[in-house]
Amino acid sequence: MQLFKNLSLITTTIILTITLTSCVNCLRTNDESYYLSLQDKKINQVSEQVQKKYLKNNTSEVTFTFEPTNLFQEDIRASNDEGCYSDWCEQSTNNIYIDGTDKTIKLNIRSCMNNGLFEVHFFDNANNYHQSYYLINQELQDVTTIASYNSSVSTFLNFTQDFLYKNTIYKNVLVFKSWNTVETNYIIIEPDFNLILFEHQNDEYKLTE
Would 156 be classed as within a structural domain?
yes
pLDDT at res. 35: 83
Would 26 be classed as within a structural domain?
no
Would 25 be classed as within a structural domain?
no
Per DSSP, what are the bridge partners of residue 204? 199
Is the CB of residue 184 less than 8 Å from the CB of residue 178? yes
pLDDT at res. 25: 47
* Cα distances (Å, whole numbers) of residue 129 to 94, 98, 134: 19, 15, 17
Q: Give the structural domain span for 145.
A: 31-207
- Over the chain (209 residues), the average pLDDT of each successive run of 10 is 50 36 45 81 93 96 96 67 60 94 94 83 94 94 85 90 96 95 93 95 92
pLDDT at res. 13: 39
Q: Which residues lie closer than 8 Å to 123 by C-beta, 6 or more apart? A: 103, 104, 105, 106, 129, 130
pLDDT at res. 2: 53
Provide the number of structural domains found in the chain.
1
Would 182 be classed as within a structural domain?
yes
Would 23 be classed as within a structural domain?
no
Would 137 be classed as within a structural domain?
yes
Would 21 be classed as within a structural domain?
no
